[in-house]
Amino acid sequence: MTIEATVPETFQGFGIDKPANWNHPKLVQYKRKKINPTDVVVKNIACGLCGSDILTLKADWGTLHRDDAVVGHEIIGHVIAVGDKVTQVKVGDRVGIGAASTSCRSCNRCKHDNEQYCKSGAGTYNSIDKFSDDYITQGGYSSHSIANEQFVFPIPESLDTVHAAPLMCAGLTVYSPLVRSLGTDATGKTVGIIGIGGLGHLALQFANALGAKVVAFSRSSSKKEQAIKLGAHEFVATGEEKDWNKKYDDAFDLILNCASGVDGLALEDYLSVLKVDRKFISVGLPPATKKFEVSPFTFLHQGASFGSSLLGSKTEALQMLELAAEKGVKPWVEEVQLGEEGCHEALTRCDKGDIRYRFVFTGFDKAFA
């Protein structure tokens, strides 16, 4: 059967027309993008809700490019068709797609396990796909997704679909900076994780699974018990323990900020407890206009650096999935029936922080019956 016969021309999804309706997605139909020879077509069965979805829908990260904008980039589904040149997956495979969906695959970055940083690449939604006639990409709150095979990750059999979904963005986003700073065996290293939320609750688990000593940072002690359960060896309530940094002199090989707010984050305190030549990496992203103020002096005494990190490579995604399967890393999820009502409720609650720690939409067959 040809691809054209297998894959519908029109996909369905839950989309919004304008930022004011950010938490009121409606059922929409849209023409799918063309299928390139290295593309994989997936019939979706689950999709996690990522904080980026809300920031995009509200246009806090820039313009919304469609009036039927569908978000979602923690997608799990089954491959239903592949382009002629696809070699990495086959029809029937259960796979995931994260926040990036294509790249040039020929630049220096693409050739060296940094395809997520390709300057010609496209995000999974609200992004211009140069390799598909400038199609504006659509996310996974939808019936189907199409991505270049480099961005399609086979899911190990032992991982449940609902647990695999949040690994596609949140998981990979924290896993990549962890292994780039600590290596795949972090025994003897100490890592600090700031913020126990969608990203942080996975960072705690992965840092522990990699063998590091893990210290969780949160404003209050309300999440202490959960943090310990998630893999933290120590817990610091920075708002309740004013001199906490005195306890951690020259202690950290990495501090990973998973909190999305920058207000009141005591960057200088965190930098003061790093070992020499180490990094503070922020993967929690605030609205684009919010800034940290930093003086070179802040960094001087530890030779410290402040940076960020974008997703992870396919190589890292496969390592991560293997580690999750082996060590039982599992997002804490709340399942939600995909639909107008479910999208509304989950987006609204997530925006208020009323979630521990990830919504995953399921029931796609029913939603698109």
Nearer to a copy of itself, 7 or 107 (CB): 107
Q: What angle is formed at CA 340 by the lines to CA 259 and CA 334, rounded to 5 degrees?
A: 45
CA atoms of 204 and 225, how far apart (whole Å) = 13
Q: Which is nearer to a copy of itself, 240 or 292 (CB)?
A: 292
Question: In terms of CB distance, is 66 or 275 closer to a copy of itself?
Answer: 275
Chain centroid offset of residue 3 CA:
30
- Report how far residue 1's alpha carbon sits from residue 41's, in angstroms, rounded to the nearest whole number: 14
Give the shortest CB-290-to-a copy of itself separation in angstroms.
7
Alpha-carbon span 142 to 364, nearest angstrom = 8
Within a 13 Å sphere around the CA of 6, how many CA atoms are in the beta-carbon half?
16
Q: In whole angstroms, give the CA distance from residue 76 to residue 154.
A: 9
Nearer to a copy of itself by C-beta: 137 or 298?
A: 298
Nearer to a copy of itself by Cβ, of 275 and 344: the residue is 275
CB nearer to a copy of itself: give 27 or 107: 107
DSSP state of 96: E
Task: Give residue 147's identity as a one-letter amino acid code.
Answer: A
Cβ closer to a copy of itself: 118 or 216? Answer: 118
Least Å from the CB of residue 369 to a copy of itself = 39
SS3 state of residue 2: coil
Return d(Cα 79, Cα 76) in angstroms, integer.
10
Distance CA 68, CA 66 (A): 5
Whether the Cβ atoms of residue 122 and residue 145 lie closer than 8 Å to each other: no
How do 305-308 and 274-282 pair as beta strands?
Answer: parallel
DSSP letter string over 26-65?
Answer: EEEEEEPPP--TTEEEEEEEEEE--HHHHHHHTTTTS---
If the CB atoms of residues 307 and 353 are measured against a copy of itself, the closer one turns out to be 307
Amino acid at 198: G
| Residues engaged in binding a copy of itself (CB under 8 A) | 107-109, 114, 117, 119, 180, 249-250, 262, 275-277, 279, 281-282, 284-286, 288-310
**Closest among 250, 255, 251 to 265, alpha carbons compared:** 255
Identify which of residues 235 and 270 has a Cβ nearer to a copy of itself in the complex: 270
CA distance 239 to 221: 9
Strands 305-308 and 234-237: unpaired
